[in-house]
Amino acid sequence: MRFETPLIPARLIRRYKRFLADCRLEDGREVTAHCANPGSMMGLAEPGEKIWLEPNDDPKKKLKFGWRLVDHENSHFTGVDTSVPNKALRAALEAGEITELAAYQAVRPEVKYGENSRIDFLLTQPGLPDAYVEVKSVTLSRQPGLAEFPDSVTARGTKHLGELAAMAAQGHRAIMLYLVQRTDCELFALAADIDPAYAAAFEQAKGVERLVYGTRISPEGVWVNPIRLA
């Protein structure tokens, strides 16, 4: 998934009210950017960090910048926009790049299911069980090389696990796909100390498959790495 507008570098001044970030551009101007991430962003919102913003000239948007990346300044990046994984994954699914799901030709996003929920992707193919795919953006890393989810308590994520288990019980495939939006991690684990209820719900979600994929990230875009993470 290529960014629609070329990104520009900046330094983070502060993130506040979850969805706002004050930033300083290279020319010294201070701007407020939209932060499309409801999580804690643990370890990713330190003042002074180098970040990348996407400018826009949309008259319908109050904020003219969106925060897209953290630049760790060691050739590694983290994607902080939680809407990006679905866009990147859709492209990968349609291209047959997710090995476990490559047999499905029809990819439908945002299909209603469960109790007032929408599945990120419903995959269908004649002769195969329908595949319900829920996507989670993973950005937390507290140990070198290890990505973890979630970075804060997620009652919504726990609800999704129950609804996926219900789909599996009905004979469908139910997949929780964790997309690691970091280029510096090779391993993945659930952060049970942060949200014990979510970790317990995953253990109880019978029939739910777990897939973990990484990403290739640069200021040009975010793409799913077709090699599955451990």
pTM over the 0.85 mark:
yes
**pLDDT score recorded for residue 229:** 86
**What CATH class does 84-228 carry?**
alpha beta
196-204 vs 155-169: helix crossing angle, rounded to 10: 0
| Rounded Cα distance, 132 and 109, in Å | 10
User: Which CATH number among 2.40.30.10, 1.10.10.10, 2.40.50.580, 3.40.50.2000 corresponds to the domain 8-79?
Assistant: 2.40.50.580
Average of per-residue pLDDT across 132-137: 97
- The mean pLDDT value of the chain amounts to 96
| Rounded Cα distance, 13 and 172, in Å | 47
Ranges for all domains in the chain classified under CATH 3.40.1350.60: 84-228
Helix (H) or strand (E) run with residue 167 in it: helix 155-169
Q: Is the pLDDT of residue 221 over 90?
A: yes
Phi, psi of 60 (to 5 degrees): -80, -15
Q: What is the pLDDT of residues 79-92, one digit of tens each?
A: 999 999 999 999 99
**pLDDT score recorded for residue 230:** 66
| Rounded Cα distance, 1 and 3, in Å | 7
Q: What is the pLDDT of residues 26-59, one digit of tens each?
A: 999 999 999 999 999 999 999 999 999 999 998 8
Q: Is the pLDDT of residue 151 over 80?
A: yes
Q: What is the pLDDT of residues 91-114, one digit of tens each?
A: 999 999 999 999 999 999 999 998
Ranges for all domains in the chain classified under CATH 2.40.50.580: 8-79
| Rounded Cα distance, 227 and 209, in Å | 17
